[in-house]
């Protein structure tokens, strides 16, 4: 990305060429914004010819997950209920890319409202894994992961609520990062679960992920949960792992459903890091077994409230056959939301309803405290935690659709990072059954640079570059 | 037993969670809205610091305990005037609790004070003839900062309920938290009413009264509801827990919705807003900066100026009135005179000029009736009272020689009345005085005229 | 914990999600299966534990009371399915509504 051998327009045409060739096979985009992209590329080239500010992302084509509002560009969260919605505002992360002069290729497919781990829950069509189109790309940010993996885009933006950046990055063989909660403004991110959602990059190289994060991170007056802390993703990137202690949580290596091939690839990666100078330590995360249960209360509960605004009054689709307001609500939401979204709204509504709040929501929030404490304790004896990102490689389309719990288990190694607000990177670490495996690096809150540094050290050690 | 829930719109410049103006009255529909108060996808609230401050100031004025740690919660329900499908409010950690409001020697306990956002407004299209098949939604009011003040069921009558609301309005205005105009919807009162047999300790079933748009409506609605419940119970019936609306046109309450289908609001902590810490040092600063409250003002007016209860009540209803009174006294007017002039004539003169006018009357330069005319003229023309008196030659005739001539002429022209007086009929003096007044065009110093008349008649 | 059909109907109504014929049973079964997993939370002793609504401590972030421009009316209305004279339009609200 740093080398400027091509003009922005040439780079865009390259990407559009790949898109034309690959899209019929992988369906990463729900809609392209070619016209906007061309105008932005030309503008970028004008900047290069001395007419304006140039940054590391100027002229770089990006694929944007369909949950990040782009002003006046149709943004639908992968849902039929938002078909035709053109926001009169822009998400802060996208606005910061726009200010840098990035080139917007279009909106990428995702599980509807980011609820899913395979992109099969899209309200439009499933996206396919570039490594094997009969398999899923992971999710929910499967479109952005696949677009970057296929070379359609130089980088992508995704969102991660329980692993929705890291897991598809692992399954598609690219780098994906979820920053510390509060690092990147959520303004304009169509919310799934407000206390867990975070925006992050997909790239092919760790260094590029650091550049993108550097560009989009930082306090935003429009997001009261964004944090005013210095953003430095770059200065420690190349320092290696010499002298760092890396924690290996036994619970993560022995997770339910862990494929032997995935475990083997991750263990090889751990050895590579050890050879590069890291000290390996055992750490414990004793409440791991309860993470999934806590997550599947908290996230649906918040979602059930966040998705109440889709009522067919101010925007989006609405059922026209209804004779009164109640029928309008019922039919609009029945017809506009897909089955997984409806299931989670039901689950979340139930968990918050009278008589069940204490047993479910409050209990889950307390278990969340315990999980965050597990990580705090673990980080007393290590600088970062490494594990697999996903216990499984990309699975065939349709394999887990009928069993929601089997799908939810895909997130067991990633959702702890969301519950505890930690930064986490997934980086490709070989293959299992010919499909990519991801290595997850988790670091303490605000140590986003540390997560990137360890990932970069692995990248350098494994490529010899 | 009556408990009150009062909602007050806070006087801020921008809305509770976005930068939209709060100046929405009279604006075209949906013209003071943005993506945040429209509840569009992906937007986030950021709380208004001034609104938080105004709630704390009000709570301090109500002698509440201020919570050091407080947070916002979501109250979830569907309605077209609620764009997000939830209202950001406060559930189990309100900003303040346990306060009180004094009504004379009665003390009404305040349960809690919390901060939330207002909803938009629904208009029902079509008139009564064609059954409204649709409603219109205007979200200009959506996201206005709203404070809720809840009292314990300590009020005992419709009068007390009204007095409570009036006193609360005075406090809100004194601390500058709200303009609290009921007709403009800036102050909304709901009353929870229940009755129980005299001497009984058991709480009766309560009904919740809504749609109350004035203090008078509050009084009448509560009075009606107490009577209705008593009638119901005495007739062997029972009171149903429900929400009842006040109908201004029919002057009665009517059933709106039964609480048996109680809403399940699914409150949970608002994840988009960090919990708030109200630091004790900051709260102490606000406490120190509180202005004089209506109760304190009343006590001081009575004591410092020796005014009657009536005068104090009248002067303390608006802080501007009390201010004018005190400034007028400071400018030299005697307190009782100043009070009379202000209560009786609602002058728009500034204190300096009002004191000047009162001075002219007290000194006898003009009489009371002339004073009223001078006041009107001074208000209309913007000239000083003294100037008006000079220009219009209004000064009363107090010159003994000049008035003496008039008096002699009147006696000469009314021999009968003069004879009557001399024979002991005191009333005859009134008739003669009226003639003097007529002859001078109303400008005679009547006290002097009476003295001169007696003097001449007795001679 | 298993959900009854009545509970499914109640929750669907709270969430304003219409149910198709037969969906009560479908949801009762699926949600019960998920809740069966979630019920393992009961094993955890949380008596002395504070709930976490937000993991990151960011302090009290408030905004200054400064007005900013609103959206022009036509921009506010542009995505709406139905408008009239500057208002959003909804179907009649029936009294029987819960
Ligand atoms: Zn607004």
Per-residue pLDDT of chain A (465 residues; tens, 9 = 90+): 445 678 999 999 999 999 999 999 999 999 999 999 999 999 999 999 887 889 999 999 999 999 999 999 999 999 999 999 999 999 999 999 999 999 999 999 999 999 999 999 999 999 999 999 999 999 999 999 999 999 999 999 999 999 999 999 999 999 999 999 999 999 999 999 999 999 999 999 999 999 999 999 999 999 999 999 999 999 999 999 999 999 999 999 999 889 999 999 999 999 999 999 999 999 999 999 999 999 999 999 999 999 999 999 999 999 988 888 999 999 999 999 999 999 999 999 999 998 889 999 999 999 999 999 999 999 999 999 999 999 999 999 999 888 888 888 889 999 999 999 999 999 999 999 999 999 999 999 999 999 999 999 999 999 754
Test B33 with C68 for CB contact under 8 angstroms.
no
Q: Would you give the distance in Å from CA A215 to the centre of its chain? A: 17
The verdict on residue C29 lying in a domain is: yes
Q: Is residue C87 part of a domain?
A: no
Cβ <8 Å between A69 and B78: no
Specify the pLDDT at position B364: 76
Q: What is the pLDDT of residue B258?
A: 57
CATH number, domain containing residue A159: 3.90.1300.10
Note residues around ion ligand 1 (Cβ under 5 angstroms): B 18, 20, 34, 36-37
The answer to whether residue C1 neighbours chain B at the CB level (below 8 Å) is no
Q: Do the domain assignments include residue C54?
A: no
Identify whether A275 is part of a domain: no
Residue B310: count of CB within 10 angstroms of its CB: 10
Is the Cβ pair B264, A354 closer than 8 Å? Answer: yes
Q: Where are the domains of chain B?
A: 2-286, 294-392, 400-457
Nearest CA in chain B to C91: B134
| Residue B261, pLDDT score | 54
Cβ-based contacts of A188 with chain B (< 8 Å): 42-43
Interface test with C, best of A115, A333, A366, A419 (most C CBs within 10 A): A366
Q: Is residue A349 part of a domain?
A: no
Closest CA to B61 of B141, B181, B180, B192: B180
Q: How far is C82 from chain A (nearest CA, A)?
A: 8
Report the neighbours of C using a cutoff of 3 or more CB pairs below 8 angstroms.
A, B
pTM: 0.89
Q: In this predicted structure, what is the pLDDT of residue B44?
A: 98
C83 touching A (Cβ < 8 Å): no
- Look at residue A100 and tell me if it is in a domain: yes
Confidence at C97, pLDDT banded by 50, 70, 90: very low
Question: A175 alpha carbon to ligand 1 midpoint, in Å?
Answer: 38
- C67 and B139 within 8 Å at the Cβ level: the answer is no
Q: Tell me, in angstroms, the distance from the centre of ligand 1 to residue A91's CA.
A: 16
Could you give the maximum distance between any two Cα atoms of chain A, in Å?
70
Provide the number of CB pairs (under 8 Å) joining chain A to chain C.
173
C-alpha to C-alpha distance for A161 and A195, rounded to whole angstroms: 9
Q: B20 alpha carbon to ligand 1 midpoint, in Å?
A: 4
> Which of C9, C63, C66 should be substituted to probe chain B, the one whose Cβ sees the most B Cβ atoms within 10 Å?
C63
In a domain, C37, yes or no: yes
Residue of B141, B136, B150, B138 whose CA lies nearest to B90: B150
Across chain A, mean pLDDT equals 95
Give the integer Cα–Cα distance in Å for B146 and B12. 10
Q: What positions of A carry a catalytic annotation?
A: 65, 140, 164
Kindly state whether residue C97 falls inside one of the protein's structural domains.
Answer: no
User: What total number of domains does chain C contain?
Assistant: 1
CB contact (8 A) between residue A77 and residue B80: no
CB contacts of C44 in chain A (<8 Å) are 287, 290, 363, 366-367, 370
User: Which of C14, C64, C84 faces B49 most closely, judged by CB atoms?
Assistant: C64
User: Chunked in runs of 10, what are the mean pLDDT values of chain B (459 residues)?
Assistant: 94 97 95 98 97 97 95 95 97 96 91 97 65 86 97 93 94 93 92 84 83 91 90 85 85 73 86 93 94 86 85 82 88 85 84 84 80 83 80 71 83 87 85 83 78 82
* B-chain residue closest to C72, CA distance: B31
Q: Is residue C23 part of a domain?
A: yes
How many domains does chain A fold into? 1
pLDDT digits (tens, 9 = 90+) for C28-51: 999 999 999 999 999 999 999 988
Q: Which of A280, A263, A275, A337 is nearest to A304 (CA)?
A: A337
Q: Which domain holds residue A17?
A: 8-216
Segment B37-61, tens digit of pLDDT = 999 999 999 999 999 999 999 999 9
CB contact under 8 A, A357 and B83: no
Expressed in angstroms and rounded, the spacing between residue B119 Cα and the centre of ligand 1 is: 12
Residues of A with CB under 8 A from a CB of B: 67-69, 75, 77, 82, 85, 87-89, 91, 186-191, 193-195, 221-225, 301-302, 304-305, 307-311, 313-315, 325, 329, 349, 352-354, 357, 361
ipTM > 0.85?
yes
In a domain, A119, yes or no: yes
Q: Do B85 and A309 touch (CB under 8 A)?
A: yes
Tell me, in angstroms, the distance from the centre of ligand 1 to residue B52's CA. 18
Whether C80 sits inside 8 A of A314 (CB atoms) is: yes
Contact assignment for C68 to B136 by CB distance below 8 Å: no
Instruction: Measure C97 CA to ligand 1 centroid, in angstroms.
Output: 29
> Which candidate in B36, B42, B134 is best for mutational testing of the A interface (most A CBs within 10 A)?
B42
| Min distance A256 CA to chain C CA atoms (Å) | 13
CATH class of B400-457: mainly alpha
- Asked if C3's CB is within 8 angstroms of A367's CB, the reply is no
Task: Please give the residue range of the domain that contains residue C11.
Answer: 5-42
| CATH at residue C22 | 1.10.20
Contacts of B194 (CB under 8 A, 6+ apart): B1, B2, B153, B203, B204, B205, B206, B207, B229, B239
């Amino acid at each position: 990305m740093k080398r400027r051998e091509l003009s922005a327009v040439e780079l865009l045409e390259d990407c559009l060429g790949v898109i034309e060739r690959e899209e019929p096979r992988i369906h990463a985009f729900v809609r392209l914004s070619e016209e906007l992209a061309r105008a932005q590329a030309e503008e970028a080239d004008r900047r290069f010819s001395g007419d304006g500010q140039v940054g590391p992302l100027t002229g770089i084509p990006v694929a944007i997950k369909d949950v990040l509002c782009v002003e006046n560009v149709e943004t639908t969260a992968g849902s039929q209920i938002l078909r035709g919605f053109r926001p009169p505002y822009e998400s802060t992360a996208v606005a910061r890319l726009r200010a840098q002069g990035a080139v917007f290729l279009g909106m990428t497919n995702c599980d509807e409202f980011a609820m899913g781990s395979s992109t099969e829950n899209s309200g439009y069509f499933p996206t396919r894994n570039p490594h094997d189109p009969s398999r899923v790309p992971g999710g929910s940010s499967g479109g952005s992961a696949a677009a970057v993996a296929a070379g359609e885009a130089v980088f992508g933006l995704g969102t991660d609520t329980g692993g929705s950046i890291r897991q598809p990055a692992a399954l598609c063989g690219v780098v994906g990062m979820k920053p510390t909660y509060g690092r990147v403004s959520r303004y304009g991110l169509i919310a799934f679960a407000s206390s867990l959602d975070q925006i992050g990059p997909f790239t092919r190289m760790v260094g590029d992920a650091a550049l993108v994060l550097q560009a989009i991170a930082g306090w935003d007056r429009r997001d009261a949960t964004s944090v005013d802390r210095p953003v430095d993703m770059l200065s420690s990137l190349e320092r290696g792992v010499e002298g760092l202690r890396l924690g290996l949580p036994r619970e993560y290596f022995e997770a339910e459903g862990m494929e032997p091939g995935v475990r083997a690839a991750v263990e090889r990666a751990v050895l590579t890091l050890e050879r590069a100078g890291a000290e390996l330590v055992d750490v414990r995360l004793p409440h791991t077994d309860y993470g999934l249960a806590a997550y599947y209360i908290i996230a649906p509960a918040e979602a059930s409230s966040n998705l109440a605004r889709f009522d067919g009054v101010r925007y989006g689709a609405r059922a026209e056959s209804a004779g009164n307001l109640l029928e309008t609500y019922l039919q609009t939401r029945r017809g506009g939301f897909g089955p997984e979204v409806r299931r989670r709204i039901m689950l979340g509504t139930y968990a918050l309803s009278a008589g069940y709040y204490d047993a479910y929501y409050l209990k889950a929030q307390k278990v969340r405290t315990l999980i965050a404490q597990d990580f705090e304790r673990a980080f007393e004896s290590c600088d970062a935690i490494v594990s697999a990102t996903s216990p499984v490689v990309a699975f065939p389309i349709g394999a887990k659709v009928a069993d929601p719990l089997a799908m939810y288990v895909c997130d067991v190694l990633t959702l702890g990072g969301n519950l505890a607000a930690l930064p986490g990177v997934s980086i490709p670490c070989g293959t299992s059954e010919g499909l990519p495996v991801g290595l997850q690096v988790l670091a303490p809150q605000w140590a986003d640079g540390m997560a990137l540094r360890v990932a970069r050290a692995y990248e350098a050690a494994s490529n010899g570059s | 037993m009556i408990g009150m829930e009062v909602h007050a719109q806070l006087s801020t410049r921008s809305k509770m969670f976005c930068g939209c103006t709060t100046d929405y009255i009279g604006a075209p529909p949906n013209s003071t809205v943005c993506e945040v108060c429209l509840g569009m996808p992906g937007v986030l609230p950021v709380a208004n610091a001034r609104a938080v401050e105004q709630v704390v100031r009000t709570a301090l004025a109500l002698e509440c305990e201020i919570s050091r740690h407080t947070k916002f919660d979501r109250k979830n329900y569907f309605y077209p005037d609620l764009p997000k499908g939830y209202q950001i409010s406060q559930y189990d950690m309100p900003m303040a609790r346990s306060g009180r409001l004094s009504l004379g020697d009665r003390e009404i306990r305040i349960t809690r004070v919390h901060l939330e956002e207002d909803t938009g407004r629904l208009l029902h299209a079509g008139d009564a003839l064609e059954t409204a098949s649709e409603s219109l939604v205007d979200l200009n009011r959506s996201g206005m900062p709203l404070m809720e003040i809840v009292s314990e069921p300590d009020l005992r009558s419709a009068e007390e309920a009204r007095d409570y609301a009036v006193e609360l309005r005075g406090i809100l205005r004194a601390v500058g938290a709200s303009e609290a105009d009921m007709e403009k919807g800036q102050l909304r009162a709901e009353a929870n009413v229940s009755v129980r047999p005299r001497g009984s300790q058991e709480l009766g079933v309560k009904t919740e009264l809504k749609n109350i748009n004035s203090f008078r409506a509050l009084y009448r609605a509560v009075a009606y509801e107490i009577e209705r419940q008593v009638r119901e119970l005495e007739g062997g019936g029972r009171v149903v827990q429900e929400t009842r609306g006040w109908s201004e046109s029919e002057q009665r309450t009517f059933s709106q919705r039964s609480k048996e289908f109680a809403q399940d609001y699914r409150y949970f902590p608002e994840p988009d807003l960090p919990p708030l810490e109200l630091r004790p040092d900051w709260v102490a600063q606000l406490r120190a900066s509180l202005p004089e409250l209506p109760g304190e003002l009343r006590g001081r007016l009575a004591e410092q100026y020796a005014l009657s209860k009536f005068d104090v009540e009248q002067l303390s209803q608006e802080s501007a009135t009390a201010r004018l009174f005190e400034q007028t006294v400071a400018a030299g007017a005697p307190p009782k005179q100043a009070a009379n002039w202000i209560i009786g004539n609602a002058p728009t003169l500034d204190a300096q000029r009002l004191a000047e006018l009162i001075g002219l009357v007290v000194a006898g330069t003009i009489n009371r009736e002339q004073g009223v005319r001078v006041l009107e003229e001074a208000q209309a023309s913007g000239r000083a009272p003294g100037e008006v008196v000079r220009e219009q030659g209004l000064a009363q005739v107090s010159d003994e020689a000049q008035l003496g001539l008039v008096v002699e002429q009147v006696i000469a022209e009314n021999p009968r009345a003069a004879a009557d007086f001399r024979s002991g009929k005191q009333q005859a003096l009134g008739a003669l005085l009226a003639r003097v007044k007529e002859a001078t065009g109303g400008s005679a110093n009547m006290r002097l005229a009476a003295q001169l008349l007696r003097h001449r008649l007795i001679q | 914990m298993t959900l009854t059909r009545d509970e499914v109907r109640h929750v669907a109504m709270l969430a304003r999600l219409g149910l198709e014929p037969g969906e009560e049973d479908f949801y009762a079964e699926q949600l019960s299966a998920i809740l069966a997993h979630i019920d393992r939370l009961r094993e955890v002793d949380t008596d002395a534990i504070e709930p976490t609504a937000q993991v990151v401590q960011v302090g009290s972030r408030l905004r200054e009371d400064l007005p900013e421009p609103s959206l022009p009316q036509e921009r506010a209305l542009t995505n709406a399915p139905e408008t009239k004279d500057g208002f959003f339009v909804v179907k009649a609200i029936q009294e029987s509504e819960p």
